[in-house]
Amino acid sequence: MARVVVRDRFTGKRYEIEVYPENTAEDVINTLVDSGIIQSSPGQGWEWRLVDSRGFQLPSNTRVIDWLSRTGEQTELMLTAHWTGGA
């Protein structure tokens, strides 16, 4: 288990989350939604995404701890939104 800080790009708020080896980027976002910290969607046509300090988006099925250890990143990720083009 590791503690990861997720910083909301829009509000500047920081959330500390316990992440286990099997947890994916999608799991982290779902935890924030299920806890009532963020809405299920940032808006129509948008999806939540996690981005590392270099600006790379974590694919939703990527295990967070693997990503952080492989890239040498610290334990902070940014929560941002990605346009998917909804109608």
Q: What is the CATH number of the domain that holds 74?
A: 3.10.20.90
Residue 36's domain spans which residues? Answer: 2-83
**Residue 72, C-beta contacts closer than 8 angstroms, at least 6 positions apart:** none
Confidence label for 70 from pLDDT (cuts 50, 70 and 90): confident
pTM above 0.75, yes or no: yes
Which ranges constitute the DSSP H helices of 11-63?
A: 25-34
Residue 47 near residue 86, CB atoms below 8 Å: no
- Which of 37, 31, 34 is closest to 14 using CA atoms? 37
46-51 vs 76-83, strand pairing mode: antiparallel
What per-residue confidence (pLDDT) applies to 73? Answer: 63
Total domains in the fold of the chain: 1
SS3 31: helix
Q: Give the model's pLDDT for residue 86.
A: 63
Sign of CA dihedral 30, 81, 43, 16: positive
